[in-house]
Structure 1
Amino acid sequence: MSGGQEQLEIRFRLPDGSDIGPKKYPLAATVSTVKESILAQLPKDKENSSRTVSDIKLIHGGKILENNRTLWECKNPILDVSGGITTMHVVIRPPPSERGTEKQSSLPKETKCGCIIL
């Protein structure tokens, strides 16, 4: 079965607990295309946090979906009930200005030591 004519109704759960959708997508659509749709639908206050498809990760059934795969390839028969709404989780990478500051301030200073076992 190619999945070209069928559609999957998807709701996207954002990191803050809000949702986008549900909206229907053809099973032949790529994950990258779906991510572009998410970027266009992000609420205005979240737009500044993500600018490209590579800033977004989609998680479904505990797996991160690859951009070049189709929804048909990512479909999980156990989780995706026919006629039901599928929920995918969206992880958004923070803007570059916020990326480095949190990690550096929360990491302890490194101490150097060496051990020799004879």
Structure 2
Amino acid sequence: MEGGGGGGGGGDLIEIKFRIFDGTDIGPSKLDPATTVASLKEIVLAQWPQGKEIAPKMINDIKLINAGRILENNRTLAESTVPVGEPSGGVITMHVVVRPPQFDKENEKELKKLPKQNRCSCTIV
């Protein structure tokens, strides 16, 4: 089965799949080594499986992990992958972590607009 994957110009591409928290995979996709981590996150966001309880809303909600390292948005795929004994042509699996929503000053304004919930506080003497 040697049909389509010759040793030509496509050999420079890196094949990656993204594994999300429940074991579901996104991809694999063949990507240029110059692709930034931010672009990888955009791919994950665009291809996120429908119907998941937890889903990222923007790329800042996503952390990509490869070989135990959290990848930085401004780094390229070539800088972020660690080819530790991987066979040539192997698929690199990156793990995807979705951050819980964080409250910053912008979100604080939105929270103030929400109706206040009645909360009970009890004191035991």
CA contact (8 A) 1:49 1:95 kept: no
- 2:41 pairs with one of 29, 35, 38: 35
* TM-score, scaled to structure 2: 0.67
- Equivalent residues, number: 93
Structure-2 residue corresponding to 1:78: 84
Question: Which of residues 54, 64, 70 is equivalent to 1:64?
Answer: 70
Q: State the distance in 2 between where 1:52 and 1:38 align.
A: 10
Deviations 1:40-77 (A, max 9, x none): 00011238621111100000000000000000111212
The reply on whether 1:49 has 2:84 as its aligned counterpart is no
Whole-angstrom CA distance in 2 between matches of 1:13 and 1:47: 16
* Closer, same or farther: CA 37–62 of 1 in aligned 2, 3 Å: same
Answer yes or no: is the 8 Å Cα contact 1:61–1:76 preserved in 2: yes
Mapped partners of 1:96, 1:69: distance in 2: 23
Aligned twin of 1:14: 20
Task: Pick closer, same or farther for the CA change 1:69–1:94 going to 2, 3 Å.
Answer: same
1:24 positional shift: 0.8
Q: CA RMSD for the aligned pairs? A: 2.1
Point out where structure 1 has 5 or more consecutive residues left out of the alignment. Answer: 98-118
